[in-house]
Amino acid sequence: MVTEDIFVAAEETKNEICANQEDIDASQTKEIPKHPLQNTWVIWFNKRNPHSKSKSENSPDSGVEVASFSNVEDFWAIYNFIQKPSMFKSVCDFNIFKKGIRPTWKDKKTEGISGRWTIRLDNPSPTYVDQLWLELLMAMLGEQFGEYGEHIDGAAFNIRNGIKLNLWTSLKLELIKEFMETEGTMNGDIRKQIIAAKNEEIGKLLKDKLNVHENVTWEGFW
């Protein structure tokens, strides 16, 4: 399983190869080893018109696929190139989702519970919001949610009057051990209680990893 250590290893590899000018010149012809992520991730961007009354334009289904990556080095190349949350001034959505999952509510329907954990940031400092966004990405891409990694769909930030950071999840019954052990015969109410409890555990992990315990809410559906 990929962990946050792989990001450190990748950075050390880059520093070792480019330790001085001679190494920099040599690195142009030397193939740099890449560190694969556990998943391929796709970046989606949606610039919204805050004055438009068109439902299609402001629909969660809108958005353009702009890039993808499947290793640490490609992630950093993209991350260092794109704008950070604090740099966006217009209304927009920026999403990084697992390949095969679109950042839409329609794509969230599953046999379980789906939705997002949202961190609302009102008037945060640019440095703070950008650092928090990076920490969220590190936790997600580095598979730091342990057994819940398979239930993590993606991360996003939304620019409105303030800034919101989101962690999207889909708790799928077929991936939950307790449900599998009963071979699908578990009582519906008990099943919901187990899924809801696991969703709360994801929320707790998110709060602890980012050290944010206020203005964190859940929005989703069964």
Cβ atoms of 65 and 103 closer than 8 Å: no
Any idea what DSSP says for residue 56? T
Mean pLDDT computed over 83-104: 92
Phi first, then psi: give them for residue 207, nearest 5 degrees.
-60, -40
**d(Cα 77, Cα 42) in Å, to the nearest integer?**
14
> What tokens appear for 68 in the block?
């993808």
User: So where are the chain's domains?
Assistant: 36-221
The 10s digit of each residue's pLDDT in 5-32 is 555 544 454 444 334 445 445 544 567 7
Cβ atoms of 112 and 172 closer than 8 Å: yes
Query: Looking at per-residue confidence, does 125 or 195 come out higher?
Result: 125
41 pLDDT above the threshold of 70: yes
Taking the model in full, what pTM does it have? 0.78
pLDDT band for position 42 (cuts 50, 70, 90): very high
Beta bridge partners of 157: 94, 165
pLDDT at site 160: 87
Any idea what DSSP says for residue 86? G
Phi first, then psi: give them for residue 140, nearest 5 degrees.
-75, -55
User: What mean pLDDT is reported for the chain?
Assistant: 80
> What tokens appear for 11 in the block?
């950075």
- Superfamily for the 36-221 domain: RNA Cap, Translation Initiation Factor Eif4e (3.30.760.10)
3-state secondary structure of 174: helix
